């Protein structure tokens, strides 16, 4: 099956480069280019691509608003959006997470990383570059007002068992299923079940949004010394037959999180 892609970036050389790399793949086709968010929304609604490769900062309508319109809460037929950004735009990426972007890459991504990321997102998985993950959320949430100052312990967290809360805390710290299993001295399949239960009980779409909730509710507080930008750890999760996530090293240098059921993933 051919993966159909819309490339949205206000820089012509960037668009042309991404276009050339992706079109050269036997299973990919760039069906349109857009120079701003408004054009991206129009093209995506008209052409229904499998993935929109979206820059964050563009004129007329930025990538954040375009992502909200294409994939945000309440969208009837959401389009998968893979955002491309630079690390110094932490707050933009955080807001895009909340707008339901499917993944993020830095603009210095290698050719193979870009191609793999598009395939990951087209397959319905969530993807984050490792240098964005914990440092991005930790640094930004550190300066962001608490989302629920009136609820020290948010009511929805009370639906979790003690073990599920432990698992949620470890997810928010960027731990893979295998690492969580080691930390808690339990089987990896048991971890998968716990993560699935956490997402189901909290009505969360995926692992990324579990991280956001953990930080916003104060369950996890950013450490005083965030991971360095060049942190080598990389993880990805690939689909299995059950509603779970499994993490293994990724050649694309990214954390891959793949849903294995319609609404309950882990």
Helices (H), strands (E): how many in the chain? 10, 9
Question: What pLDDT is stored for residue 137 in this prediction?
Answer: 57
- CB count in 10 Å sphere of residue 144: 13
If you average pLDDT over residues 86-100, what whole number do you get?
69
Q: Which residue has the higher pLDDT, 154 or 22?
A: 22
Find out whether 93 and 132 touch, Cβ atoms under 8 Å.
yes
Could you identify the residue written with the tokens 């189901």?
A: 200
* Average of per-residue pLDDT values in the chain: 76
Q: Could you report the per-residue pLDDT of 2-22, keeping only the tens digit for each?
A: 999 999 999 999 999 999 999
Q: What is the pLDDT of residue 139?
A: 57
Give ∠ CA 170-176-180 in degrees, rounded to 5.
50
């Amino acid at each position: 099956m051919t993966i159909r892609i819309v490339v949205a970036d206000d820089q012509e050389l960037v668009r042309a480069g991404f276009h050339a790399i992706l079109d050269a793949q036997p299973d990919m086709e760039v069906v349109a280019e857009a120079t701003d968010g408004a054009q991206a929304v129009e093209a995506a609604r008209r052409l229904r691509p499998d993935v929109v490769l979206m820059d964050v900062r563009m004129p007329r309508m930025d990538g954040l608003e375009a992502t909200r319109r294409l994939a945000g809460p309440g969208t009837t037929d959401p389009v998968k959006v893979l955002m491309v950004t630079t690390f110094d735009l932490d707050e933009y990426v955080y807001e895009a997470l909340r707008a339901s972007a499917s993944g993020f890459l830095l603009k210095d991504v290698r050719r193979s990383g870009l191609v793999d990321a598009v395939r990951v997102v087209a397959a319905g998985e969530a993807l984050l570059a490792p240098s964005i993950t914990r440092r991005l959320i930790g640094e930004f949430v550190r300066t962001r007002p608490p989302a629920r100052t009136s609820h020290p312990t948010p009511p929805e967290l009370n639906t979790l068992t003690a073990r599920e809360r432990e698992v949620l805390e470890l997810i928010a710290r960027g731990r893979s299923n295998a690492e969580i299993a080691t930390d808690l001295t339990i089987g990896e399949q048991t971890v998968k079940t716990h993560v699935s239960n956490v997402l189901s009980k909290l009505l969360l779409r995926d692992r990324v949004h579990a991280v956001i909730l953990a930080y916003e509710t104060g369950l996890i507080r950013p450490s005083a010394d965030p991971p360095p930008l060049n942190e080598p750890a990389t993880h990805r999760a690939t689909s299995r037959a059950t509603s779970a996530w499994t993490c293994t090293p990724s050649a694309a240098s990214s954390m891959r999180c793949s849903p294995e059921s319609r609404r309950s993933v882990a």
